[in-house]
Structure 1
């Protein structure tokens, strides 16, 4: 695998791994039993994607458990704390729409990621539908659920600008991805959901609220370090251990 393809595989794998862990944190805390199962299944789908992507690069355990914080290339969006259930749903809506559009483009190309993307896009379509249905239920529900969902959408919006940046150093591997059309399609899809949910669509890319993070460059938010320490603790405490 070329250096550029490796960079893209790590970035996409990190997205999937980190969000998988965040969703796994809901185990035992989801609002209803059905959501325990749904969130766990989504987390497992993402974990499976991460494993395939890491396997293209090297040892998946080393990549997941032995890298330092600055070595991770995930979007800052996926590392954001779960917050209340509305925050989790807003994060999932923003990311799953992006991931579906990205994988659709990759599946239609001839890069190393085409086979994975062709399979994963079916999973991600379910992830998006799940997030959309909950956005509609919360946004067009009670006064409190509407307020919480609206607050969550606004709070996480600033992390979405990074979605539309090309994967640094991965132009050759992800050259089939048209970020301009991806951004337009993402905005159209997300705007449609928020409007149907009677939620206010946050200001777009020309607003200062649309800021781009630097997760792809290894710069992460404060909460990520704590999450990573928890995720890696067992493996680092017992190096070389096996079941």
Structure 2
């Protein structure tokens, strides 16, 4: 038993080292949220002049919830990925997003008055209080192609947002973007490589990758729908109007899909109620399943620490 465990530990270490060398990170623990502490001191920075604190808190929740929920979905692949290296890679991507979510939720809690910390915002809100886009909450049914399709769309869109947030007037958003651009560039590259590998692989892998794209594509439209909060904060130099990144995202996706010999889906976007979606707290039924699992321990043992 001891020998077997030692061998497994060595395999995991070798796989991790190989992956770290492949993606070129100098920090040997890049995957475990290192560097997040660099922006912790800025969480209490004053709200930029002429910016509404309530709107800033809502915007931080939007970006934080996107990362938090997508991170949880990716964590479901741990021990279920098709190979050991992919177990490590998806876990690392999930941890990157979790690190971003922690800072953004902490900033939201501080800006709104300090009565709720990052844990309260993550574990004690109801579905209607979450502000993530629907794409982040979609389940995979352990269909690896679908997980890759979702990650490709999500990371391509998020990277475009973060690149523009580098110049945000809010120091925390700018700091998250500064670290997040490097992280999410790797996420996008990882998803793109798998998309090409599957799409331009065997007839079966091509079929499944195309079907996965068809399944998630109806949720792309919401990514570029501008909420009132985003519009207001974009005008003041704090946020990004998501409609402004659509051409860039489309160009990247067209390039990846072309290399993967995949066809861009033509499925219509999922309808909304009065133009309202995840940014206004209207979600798919799948978010309820995510929160039931993610929040269960904190709700059963209020105030517990570990």
CA RMSD of aligned residues (A): 1.4
Normalization by structure 1: what TM-score?
A: 0.94
Which 5+ residue runs of structure 1 have no aligned equivalent? none
Is the CA contact 1:4–1:171 (under 8 Å) kept in the aligned structure 2? no
Is the CA contact 1:159–1:211 (under 8 Å) kept in the aligned structure 2? yes
Deviations 1:101-144 (A, max 9, x none): 00001113323411211111110000000000000000001111
**Matches of 1:172 and 1:210, distance apart in 2:** 25
Number of residue pairs aligned between Structure 1 and Structure 2? 239
Which residue of structure 1 lines up, in the alignment, with residue 123 of structure 2? 65
Which residue of structure 1 lines up, in the alignment, with residue 168 of structure 2? 109
**Matches of 2:59 and 2:227, distance apart in 1:** 6
Is the CA contact 2:257–2:264 (under 8 Å) kept in the aligned structure 1? yes
Structure whose alpha-carbon radius of gyration is higher = 2
- Asked if 1:45 is matched to 2:103, the reply is no
**Matches of 1:52 and 1:242, distance apart in 2:** 19
- Asked if 1:3 is matched to 2:54, the reply is yes
Is the CA contact 1:8–1:174 (under 8 Å) kept in the aligned structure 2? no
**Matches of 2:155 and 2:217, distance apart in 1:** 14
SS in 2 for 1:117: helix
Deviation at 1:174, TM superposition (A): 3.5
Which residue of structure 1 lines up, in the alignment, with residue 260 of structure 2? 197
Residues 50, 174 of structure 1: alpha-carbon distance in 2 compared, 3 angstrom cutoff: farther
SS in 2 for 1:30: coil
**Matches of 2:87 and 2:295, distance apart in 1:** 23
Is the CA contact 2:131–2:280 (under 8 Å) kept in the aligned structure 1? yes
Residues 163, 25 of structure 1: alpha-carbon distance in 2 compared, 3 angstrom cutoff: same
Is the CA contact 1:65–1:232 (under 8 Å) kept in the aligned structure 2? yes
**Matches of 1:34 and 1:168, distance apart in 2:** 42
Q: Work out which of the residue numbers 268, 278, 281 in structure 2 matches 1:209.
A: 268
- Asked if 1:95 is matched to 2:154, the reply is yes
